[in-house]
Amino acid sequence: MRPLRLGILGSGKGSNFLALARAIQAGVVPAEVVCVASDQSQAGILELARGMGLRIFVCRSGSFQTKLEPEIEEELAEELSRAGAELVVLAGYMRVVKAPLLRSFGGRIINIHPSLLPAFPGLKAWEQALRAGVKETGCTVHWVNEVVDGGSTIRQLKMPVQPGDTAESLHARIQTAEHRLLPEVVRDLASGKIAWERDPRRI
């Protein structure tokens, strides 16, 4: 089966994207990145993508912090479609996904989140976990739907919260787990070991 075509969305430094790209380059994940897009023109993920010679797309600035205007998200969806993306991977993408992307890629968008969902959805989940005093946390890859961090779980990695953990130390360990989990999930989606909600190659 040919490589799975990925569209990557990110708003920050791009560490999850980098872990995934390295796994692809190493031949571990049978996929190719066809587009890297961001809502932030200065995002580190774009610099990483440029350095790899990948196609990039920068969303126009909008009026909201938590979502894109429908017409801007429609432009993003159209760019991903033109690039041939089959699976959209949210890798540190800080906007709520709305109707334009869900219409075009519903059942084909995954997100990595730094908690064991459904616990601690939303921002700074590691800080939420520390405040709650839980003994265990981790990260989750899940399908994306209209509910923030509410789509069905694909796979999780668990880890203990250690005595003396700070927000920074816990976040760093969760990120290390994310860098392992996301490539594993994409690998298993590409190879058919994980069932898709809607696999474009089987439509």
Residues 59 and 62: their CA atoms lie apart, in Å, by 9
- Here the tokens at position 112 are 């990595």
Residue with tokens 């779980």: 153
Structural class in CATH, domain 4-192:
alpha beta
Rounded CA-CA distance 195/35 in Å is: 23
Question: Is the confidence at residue 201, as pLDDT, over 70?
Answer: no
- Model confidence pLDDT, tens digit, residues 159-178: 999 999 999 999 999 999 99
What integer best gives the mean pLDDT of the chain?
95
What type of residue is 19? A
Catalytic annotation on 142? Answer: no
Q: What's residue 202's pLDDT?
A: 45
Packed helices 167-191 and 15-25: angle between N→C axes, nearest 10 degrees = 40
CB 198 within 8 A of CB 110: no
Indicate the SS3 state at residue 191: helix
Taking the domains of the chain in order of start, what are their residue ranges?
Answer: 4-192
% pLDDT > 90, the chain: 92
Higher pLDDT, 123 or 198: 123
Pairing of strands 153-160, 136-143: antiparallel
Residues 186, 188, 192, 196: is their CA dihedral positive or negative?
Answer: negative
pLDDT for position 199: 60
Which residue of the set 113, 142, 171, 179 is catalytic? 113
pLDDT digits (tens, 9 = 90+) for 43-87: 999 999 999 999 999 999 888 888 999 999 999 999 999 999 999
pLDDT tens, residue by residue, 109-152 = 999 999 999 999 999 999 999 999 999 999 999 999 999 999 99
Question: What's the pTM value of the predicted model, to 2 decimals?
Answer: 0.94
